Structures are given as structure tokens and as C-alpha cells.
Amino acid sequence: MKNLSPTSNLLLNWCVILICTAPAQAADPALKGNVSSTSKTAPSLPASKNAAAGAIVTSAYGQGVHAYQAARYNEAVAYMYDAIMKEKAGANAWLYMGNSYYAMGQKKRAIETYQSIKTRFPGTPQAIAAAQYLQRLNPVSTAAKTDATETGATETAEGKDESGEKKAATMSPAAVLAGLRQRMKIIRPAYGRTEVTKRTIAAVDACFDKIPPQVREILYKNDIKFEITPTMIDKYPEGAYQEVAGYEGGTSKSCPGLFDNGTIVLSQATINESTDEVNKPRKVDDLEGTFLHETGHALDHCLDWYSRSKEFRHNYYLDIARVPDDVAPRISYFLQKSDAGQIESCAELTSILLGNNRGKDAELTIYFPNTLSFIRKKLGL
């Protein structure tokens, strides 16, 4: 790791720690039935934080998510109703409710619920999703003509996908892109520092354009969120992530980006660990590289941490066995023992596939051909 610049070194170290502390990914509650034989796919909802595997769920919302995932749609409706009334649950609860009605073939109620979402939460991804489902349910008014078999197929909730495989959303690529952009949050400077500039926002925006539609869809369906912060201290003023302290001397001050619990956080500038001065805003290609690297971690998370799978390891081992001795020190970060090498290689190689060309892209492309092609397959590239 001596061979990496201090910045990239810290960047990568941060990633490992935060990734490892992220909770298990919740199952994507893809709707298991169809009301319309013309819709090949069912509505899907973002993963719920409350439904993390193994978590004890006590909220009505969490119980509703569980009921929904178990295809107990009647129960799911009741829980979501409670969640909305008593827990002030937001658009996701409404969407679960609408999709439960949809799954039960209660078309009128589903339409009413989706319309409420559009009215109550305009401009949100949930409203966009609701509009898409309305289009399926109400093709006449939306001019998206479907065939006449719709009503005859309203009770096909049993036709579920037992494999639990996530179904593709039918949202248009433009709607997915818009939905992702709407999830971007800008953190205000907490200590009178420079705000996040248009230039930084534009850099992230350009990344969204670079990411292929099928990959955007994975991020969208798994409810990945994005935040840009002036520095990590503005995002975590109390110096969160204490566990990182002491690790190569890095604290949140010098952290350029991280992925934590479904959210990609990018900092515009790092802070000098010893002088406490804010460094110059990072260059655009560096911002993009960090953002895409964290996107790599996010995708790994969306796909059940496949970088730790046997298949991934197999390809990874094939590759690292052929790394020449004189090259190894330069890419040692990606050769780390335990899972770290796999996780970081996965994130960085993914970023390269998404257009990151800062730093070590050429070298990694040469020495990780098997891993790269495995990732490509996994992401449908």
C-alpha cells in the first residue's frame, strides 16, 4: 500500500471498512403476481432498511414489508395502512400498499393508491413508479394500449416467481435516470466551508450518463441513494466511523468517498489530517473515479455481495496468480488477503467498466481479464 498515493490509499481503506460494516442487504420485494397478462414484469419496490435479513422487525412498516415479501398482500395492506397512519411512513409505504392491491387483483384500489402517490409525493421516484404502474393498469387513459386479456388475468398472484429472482422494471431508461438523479442529495457545509459547487455536481451528473441503462436499473431498483458533501466532516460532524481511526492514520477528514448502508457519499474535498486545512476541491476525473468506485461497491451490495462468491473468487484467483512479481507491489491494494482484495477489485474493476480511467485502469484491465469478464456478465454488460 506504500505504493499508492496517500489519498487513494485512504480512499480504498475507507471503502473496506464501511463496506464490511454495512448491514446485510434486504431482499428486493419484487411483486410476485401480475394483474395483467400483458405485463411480463411485476412492480418492484426499493429494498427496505427495516427488512434487513435477520433483523427483528417491530414497526408496522417492517412487518408490512415482510408480509409483502411473503405474498401475504392482505396483511401487507393492513400493516402499511398502520404505518402511514401511526408511523408517518412515506411514499414507500404507499407504494407497497398500491402494489399489494395490484397483486391481489384489486385494480380500482391499486389505481386510487397510485394516484394518491402521484399527488402526495410529486417528483419522487415512487411517484414515477406509480405513474408507470398506472400506465399498466389503465392503458386506455394513458394511451399505452394493451390487449384485452387484462381483466381475465387479474387473479394470477400465484404465478409468482419462486426463484425470488428480481424482475426487470418496465420503467423507461429515461424515467430510471430521472429517478436516480432525484435521489441525489447535496449536504450543506456545517462549518462555513465552501458549498458543493456546480462543477462537482456536474461531475456526478456526467457519471449518471456514463452508467449504462441496465446498470442504472440495478441501482434504481435497489434504492441506492447519493450524497455529495463539501467534506466528510460536513456529513459526519461528530466524526462518525470511529472504527476507522487509527487505520493508516485516516479519519473522516481525509475520506474522499464511501458507500454505507445503501448510500454513496462523495466528498468534494478532503481535509489535511495534520493541518486541518481543507484541500483544494478534487479534480473532476478524481471525483468521477471515486464516485464510480463507490458505485462498484453499491452494485456489489445490490447483487448480494457477489464479490465474495465462489465464482468471483475463482476468476479472481486465476487472475492474481498471473500477476508478475514486479507489478504486484503497484496493485497490492487489490491483492489483499481475506475478502478485502476481492471486494476492492470488484469495485475498482466495475468503475473501469463504467468509464473510470484514472490511475490504474490500464494495469488492472490487463491483469484481471477473468474477473472483468465475470463482472461484465454479472452486470449484463
* DSSP strand pairing (263-267 vs 257-260): antiparallel
Interacting residue with Zn ion among 4, 10, 15, 22 (CB under 5 A): 15
Q: For residue 68, what are the CA distances in angstroms to 44, 181, 291, 367?
A: 11, 27, 33, 44
354 binds Zn ion (CB under 5 A): no
Which one, of 286, 271, 59, 69, lies nearest residue 161 by Cα? 69
Backbone angles phi, psi at 34, to 5 degrees: -125, 140
The nearest distance, CB 176 to Zn ion, in angstroms, is 25
Question: For residues 15 and 127, which CB has a smaller minimum distance to Zn ion in the complex?
Answer: 15
Orientation angle between helical segments 73-86 and 60-69, nearest 10 degrees: 160
Buried b (16+ CB within 10 A) or exposed e, 206-218: ebbeebeeebbbb
Q: In the complex with Zn ion, which residue's Cβ is closer, 22 or 97?
A: 22
Q: Does 299 bind Zn ion (CB under 5 A)?
A: no
Element (H, E) at 258: strand 257-260
Q: Which stretch binds Zn ion (CB under 5 A): 8-16, 81-89, 102-110, 116-124?
A: 8-16
Instruction: Give the interface size with Zn ion as a residue count (CB under 5 A).
Output: 2
Q: What is the C-alpha separation between 375 and 355, in angstroms, rounded?
A: 14
Give min distance, CB of 348 to Zn ion, in A. 7
Alpha-helical (H) ranges within 25-138 are 60-69, 73-86, 91-104, 107-120, 125-137
Q: Does 347 bind Zn ion (CB under 5 A)?
A: yes
C-alpha–C-alpha distance, residues 62 and 59, integer Å: 5
DSSP code of residue 305: S
Pick 67 or 347: Cβ nearer Zn ion? 347
Smallest gap from residue 343 Cβ to Zn ion (A): 7
Pick the stretch among 9-17, 60-68, 159-167, 273-281 that binds Zn ion (CB under 5 A). Answer: 9-17
Within 277-296, the residues that bind Zn ion by CB under 5 A are none
**Could you tell me which stretch among 66-74, 211-219, 232-240, 342-350 binds Zn ion (CB under 5 A)?**
342-350
Window 234-253: residues binding Zn ion (CB under 5 A)? none
Residue showing cell 507491489: 329
- In terms of CB distance, is 15 or 244 closer to Zn ion? 15
Edge-to-edge strands of the sheet including 184-186?
A: 184-186, 225-229, 263-267, 257-260
Q: Which stretch binds Zn ion (CB under 5 A): 82-90, 107-115, 139-147, 344-352?
A: 344-352
User: Phi then psi for 210, rounded to 5 degrees?
Assistant: -70, -35
DSSP 35: S
AA identity, residue 254: S
Shortest Cβ 216–Zn ion spacing (Å): 20
CB of 368 to Zn ion, least distance (A): 15
Q: Provide the minimum distance between the beta carbon of 12 and Zn ion in the complex, in angstroms, as a whole number.
A: 5
Q: Which is nearer to Zn ion, 279 or 336 (CB)?
A: 336
Q: Residue 17 or 203: which CB sits closer to Zn ion?
A: 17
Shortest Cβ 4–Zn ion spacing (Å): 12
State the nearest-atom distance from the C-beta of 305 to Zn ion, in Å: 13
From the list 14-22, 70-78, 278-286, 333-341, the region that binds Zn ion by CB under 5 A is 14-22
Q: How far is the CB of 296 from Zn ion (least distance, A)?
A: 7
Smaller CB distance to Zn ion: residue 98 or 289?
289
| Distance in Å, CB of 293 to Zn ion, minimum | 6
Query: Closest residue to Zn ion, Cβ-based?
Result: 15
Question: 15 or 47: whose CB is closer to Zn ion?
Answer: 15
Alpha-carbon distances of 98 from 127, 149, 217, 220, 239, rounded to whole Å: 11, 21, 21, 19, 40
Q: Pick the piece of the chain touching Zn ion (CB under 5 A) from 13-21, 164-172, 278-286, 358-366.
A: 13-21
Distance of alpha carbon 288 from alpha carbon 365, whole angstroms: 18
Binding site residues, Zn ion, CB under 5 A:
15, 347
